[in-house]
Amino acid sequence: MDTTAKSMLANLQAKRYEPIYLLQGEEPYYIDLISNYIESNVLNESEKSFNQVVLYGKDAPVHVILNHAKRFPMMAERQVVIVREAQDIPDLQKEASAKLLLDYASKPVPSTVLVLCHKHKTLDKRRELGKKLDKLPGSATFKKVYDNQLPDFILQYVNDRGCSIEGEAVQVLAECVGPDLSRMANEIDKILISTEVTHTITSAKVMAQVGMSREYNIFELQKALIQKDTYKLAKMVYYYEGNVKKNPAIPIVAFLFSFFSKVLAAHGAADKSGQGLVNILKISPFAAKDYSYALQKFSLQQVVKNISLLKNADLRLKGVNTGSEDESQILKELIFQLIV
């Protein structure tokens, strides 16, 4: 978990509340995590009806938000005002409204917990509003995670829920779901529903959840290419030819293009150790061994050639410079060209 989010949640759980929270940045998962915790836990159920309000930015100009924030709680110690989608506040960029918000921030109502959920971007720190609000104790900026940070998130998320997970299962989740933490948490939750506490999540269970064949998935294709296993590749091509709708060629080509692009970068790396490749390529530690092996099996010239082949195949699949060949024929030809 992000260290700032972890610290903020710890303070909230200890009932140490800030008068203003500015939750902003490109990663909405932590913004939702913290704001949802505040919405669910700061007030008890009997206090919420009179003392908790949730607004949406596009419907709430600054003066409306502050009118709510300046009220005093009714039969409760505090009130909560949450502004979701705060990036859509219509007059947030106007000087007069910015001044109103700054004036409030300099002397907030101590019995109010005001939460501004500013998603997908940050306030402009070149302006006084962005600069001063960013210095508030309740301000936090959450950046998009890199691919190599995903395994730690997955492991901790699963462990926090009393389960464990195989390394291969972590890699499958990281590659299939990608760095969308909200979607990642949702996919893991679905898997955990059918997993008993203390049990281990296997790669087979993950593949079943994401609708992936255990024998003919993209990771097995990548391994067969690295090993230049023509028998296994032939089996997989035959399977893809009969299951084109479940295995469209364009995503396969895009995945392989990303893989060989990283292998190209690995060839130019000064540190080609496993940890060196993790740091340079921003990949999962579980994937490092595949790239180390690919460096041994594919020369720099072969990698450059393969990237060119993948670019050409992508164009043909999209209707550029193609003849009567169908999708499966283009993919079949490409796969065997990649190991030459």
**pLDDT tens readout for residues 243-293:** 888 888 898 999 899 999 999 999 999 999 989 998 888 887 888 889 999
* Together in a domain, 200 and 236: no
* Together in a domain, 119 and 32: yes
* Together in a domain, 118 and 19: yes
pLDDT value at position 266? 94
Task: Provide the pLDDT confidence category of residue 140 given band limits of 50, 70 and 90.
Answer: very high
Contact 144, 178 (CB under 8 A): no
* Together in a domain, 112 and 237: no
**% residues pLDDT > 90 (the chain):** 69
Q: Which amino acid is at 225?
A: L
pLDDT, mean of residues 4-28 = 97
* Together in a domain, 115 and 202: no
Residue finishing a domain among 191, 209, 227: 209
Q: Is the pLDDT of residue 335 over 70?
A: yes
Tell me the per-residue pLDDT of 172-214, one tens digit each, with 9 for 90 and over.
Answer: 888 888 889 999 999 999 898 877 766 789 888 888 877 677 7
Residue finishing a domain among 209, 226, 252: 209
Q: When comparing pLDDT for 195 and 75, which is higher?
A: 75
Q: Is the pLDDT of residue 10 over 90?
A: yes
Residue finishing a domain among 156, 175, 209: 209
Q: Which amino acid is at 296?
A: Q
Tell me the per-residue pLDDT of 220-243, one tens digit each, with 9 for 90 and over.
Answer: 899 999 999 999 999 999 888 888
Among all chains, which residue has been given the structure tokens 């595949």?
290
Task: Count how many domains the chain has.
Answer: 3
* Together in a domain, 113 and 227: no
* Together in a domain, 125 and 192: no
CATH number at residue 283: 1.20.272.10
Tell me the per-residue pLDDT of 145-171, one tens digit each, with 9 for 90 and over.
Answer: 887 788 889 999 999 988 899 888 888
**% residues pLDDT > 70 (the chain):** 98
Mean pLDDT for all residues in the chain? 91
* Together in a domain, 138 and 235: no
* Together in a domain, 115 and 154: no
- Give residue 30's domain range: 3-142
* Together in a domain, 131 and 166: no
Polymer length in residues for the chain: 340
**Cα 65 off chain centre by:** 30
pLDDT value at position 323? 65
